[in-house]
Amino acid sequence: MRKILTFSILMILGFSMIGCGKEEERMDVTYKTISMEEAVELMEQENDYIILDVRTVEEYESGHIPGAICVPNEEIGSESIPELPDKEKLIMVYCRSGNRSKQAAEKLAKIGYSNIVEFGGIRDWKGEITK
């Protein structure tokens, strides 16, 4: 009974977590997860966005999505990032497989970035690679 009551209260307060392919919410921390195909479409439709590679510098230098900037996930902390001065600009985040990009997207949201889209890993990228 106590578990059901706790779950009901959390649902009423809106602290539920939404699954993959949806907006991820943890209290006031929000980012959106989309597929690689949706990311490509978004890149074709939008003009003003940043592609953020959160892999290590070495991984980035071995090959990255054209136009991407590198800010390793491990370097994202609790302060604003100089390479990302506009906290409202669309930031499209990726890594190798999708794990670090989710971590980075959550950290970016926690420090005030409000337009974050996480789209998985470069291993699923079918477009050009820049070295």
Q: Check 71, 95, 108, 109 and give the catalytic one.
A: 95
Q: How far apart are CA 112 and CA 122, in angstroms?
A: 25
| Helix residue spans in 46-96 (DSSP H) | 57-62
Distance of CA 101 to the CA centre of its chain: 5
95 is catalytic: yes
SS3 for 95? strand
Closest CA to 96 of 24, 36, 42: 36
What residues are labeled active site?
Answer: 95
